[in-house]
Chains A and B, each alone.
Chain A
Amino acid sequence: MEVYLDNSATTKVTDRVRDIMVKVLYDDYGNPSSMHKMGVIAEKYMRDAAEIIADSLKVEPKEIIFTSGGTEANNLALIGTAMAYQRRGRHIITSGIEHPSVHQPLLFLKGNGYKIDFIPVDKTGKIIKDKLYGAINEETQIVSVMYVNNEIGSVQDIEEIAREIKAIKKDIIFHVDAVQAFGKYRIYPKRMGIDLLSISGHKIHGPKGSGALYISDGVKIKPIVFGGGHQKGLRSGTENVPAIAGLGQAVREIYEDFDRKVNGMYELKQKLIKEISLLDGVVINGLPEECSKDFEMEQIKKTAPHIISVSFEGVRSEVLLHALEEKEIYVSAGSACSSHHPQPSATLTAIGLPKNLMDSTIRISISEMTTEEEIDYTVEQIKSLLPVLRRYTRR
Chain B
Amino acid sequence: MSMFKEFLIKYAEIGLKGNNRYLFENSLCNRIKEVLKPLGDFWVYKEQGRIIVECPDKYDYEETVEALKRVFGISSFCPIVTVDNTDWDSLTKAVGDYVQATYPDLNFTFKVFAKRADKNYPLSSPEICSMMGAYLLNRFPGLKVDVHEPQVSINVEIRSKAYIYSVEIPGPGGMPVGSNGKAMLLLSGGIDSPVAGYMIAKRGVSVDAVYFHAPPYTSERAKQKVIDLAKKISRYAGRMKLFVVNFTDIQLYIYDKCPHDELTIIMRRYMMRIAEHLARQEKCLGLITGESLGQVASQTMQSLAATNEVCTMPVYRPLIAFDKKDIVEIAETIDTYETSIKPFEDCCTIFVAKHPVTKPNVKKIGYSERKLQDRIDEMVKEALETVEVIEIE
Contact = CB atoms under 8 A, between A and B. Distances in A.
Interface string A308-335: 0000000000111111111000000000
A339 B349 contact: yes
A392 interface: yes
Contacts of B220: 322, 325
Nearest to A326: B216
B215 A318 contact: no
A353 to B, nearest CB: 22
Given A340-B343, A395-B260, A322 B215 contact: yes
Contact of B215 (A326, A338, A341, A393): A326
B351 A394 contact: yes
A142 B282 CA distance: 67
Interface string B188-229: 000000000000000000000000000111111000000000
**Of listed A320, A321, A393, A395, residue having the most chain B CB within 10 A:** A395
Given A338-B343, A339-B349, A340-B343, A392 B215 contact: no
B61 interface: no
B352 interface: yes
B255 interface: yes
A392 B254 CA distance: 11
A395 B353 contact: yes
**Of listed B217, B218, B220, residue having the most chain A CB within 10 A:** B217
A80 B215 CA distance: 46
B217 A322 contact: yes
Given A322-B215, A326-B215, A392-B252, A341 B343 contact: yes
B216 A338 contact: no
Given A340-B343, A340-B344, A395-B354, A318 B349 contact: no
B33 to A, nearest CB: 41
Contacts of A326: 215-216
A340 B343 CA distance: 5
Interface residues of A, number: 17
A320 B216 CA distance: 8
Interface residues of B, number: 18
Contacts of B260: 395
A284 to B, nearest CB: 23
B351 A325 contact: no
A324 B217 CA distance: 11
A325 B218 CA distance: 12
B54 interface: no
Nearest to B342: A340
Interface string A337-354: 011110000000000000
B219 A322 contact: yes
Interface string B253-266: 00100001000000
B216 A340 contact: no
Contacts of B345: 318, 338-340
A339 B215 CA distance: 17
Contact of A319 (B216, B344, B349, B352): B216
B120 to A, nearest CB: 68
B1 interface: no
Nearest to A341: B343
Interface in B344-360: 344-345, 349-354
A318 B345 CA distance: 10
Contacts of B343: 338, 340-341
A318 B214 CA distance: 13
Nearest to A395: B260
Contacts of A319: 216-217, 350
B216 A392 contact: no
A-B complex: 8 closest residue pairs judged by Cβ atoms: A322-B216, A340-B343, A323-B216, A341-B343, A322-B219, A319-B216, A319-B217, A392-B255
Interface of A: 318-326, 338-341, 392-395
9 contacts: A318-B219, A321-B216, A322-B215, A324-B216, A339-B349, A392-B252, A393-B351, A394-B350, A395-B354
Given A322-B216, A339-B349, 10 more contacts: A318-B219, A319-B217, A321-B216, A322-B215, A322-B218, A323-B216, A326-B215, A326-B216, A340-B343, A394-B354
